[in-house]
């Protein structure tokens, strides 16, 4: 990571405290920082979930995350922004994605962080396979996620 805007995918565990520190260090003048942590649910729709296997499209994933950050930078005035996403197996309770945005004031930081997550959910080439106690199944895209992302495209 370098500079004020970065993204990466990794197989190792995410360290939200370290990431928040890095965001603050990259933008010492910012008055507001909003961070989002997505975790693997221990159950979903009544099914017990041991963890998720995250597949992605190496190359396209990194370019896609960088492009999403560029898009929110065009819309809001940001001091720094970062997206870090796990790939491979992520156990229930673990952090799967971390998004951090800093800005002079909170309104830009709140909106850009939410928009980044909504775009990521519907555009970045990741796919989740849910592993339960006995079986595994591919997670289906949710219409609600598409509707959330569509709000920002108006």
What the block records as the tokens of 84 is: 């870090």
3 phi and psi angles, rounded to 5 deg? 75, -165
* Contact indicator for 3, 25 with CB cutoff of 8 Å: no
**Which residue of 11, 39, 138, 150 would you call a contact of another protein, by CB under 8 A?**
138
Enumerate residues 72-111 that contact another protein by CB under 8 A: 85, 96-97
Toward another protein, which CB reaches closer, 1 or 139? 139
- Of residues 46 and 59, the one with the C-beta less far from another protein: 59
Candidate ranges 12-20, 25-33, 107-115, 134-142; the one touching another protein (CB under 8 A) = 134-142
Q: What is the helix, strand, coil percentage profile of the chain, to 5?
A: 35, 35, 30
Closest by Cα among 100, 136, 111 to 127:
136
Residues in contact with another protein, shown as a per-residue x/- string from 16 to 55 under the rule CB under 8 A: ----------------------x---------------xx
Q: Are strands 43-44 and 47-48 parallel, antiparallel or unpaired?
A: antiparallel
Whether residue 74 contacts residue 55, with contact meaning beta carbons closer than 8 Å, is answered with: no
Q: How many residues bind another protein (CB under 8 A)?
A: 26
Q: Which stretch binds another protein (CB under 8 A): 11-19, 73-81, 105-113, 121-129?
A: 121-129
If one asks whether residue 123 binds another protein (CB under 8 A), the answer comes out as yes
């Amino acid at each position: 990571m370098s500079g004020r805007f970065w993204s990466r995918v990794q197989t190792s565990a995410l360290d939200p405290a370290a990431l928040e520190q890095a965001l603050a260090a990259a933008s010492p003048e910012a008055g507001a920082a909003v961070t989002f942590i997505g975790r693997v649910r221990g159950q979903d729709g009544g099914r017990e979930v041991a963890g998720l296997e995250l597949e992605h499209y190496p190359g396209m994933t990194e370019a896609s995350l960088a492009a999403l950050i560029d898009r929110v930078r065009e819309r809001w005035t940001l001091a720094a922004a970062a997206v870090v996403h796990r790939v491979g197996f992520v156990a229930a309770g673990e952090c799967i994605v971390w998004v951090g945005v800093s800005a002079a004031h909170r309104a830009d930081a709140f909106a850009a962080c939410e928009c980044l997550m909504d775009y990521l959910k519907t555009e970045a080439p990741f796919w989740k396979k849910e592993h339960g106690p006995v079986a595994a199944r591919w997670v289906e895209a949710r219409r609600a996620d598409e509707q959330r992302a569509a709000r920002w495209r108006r």
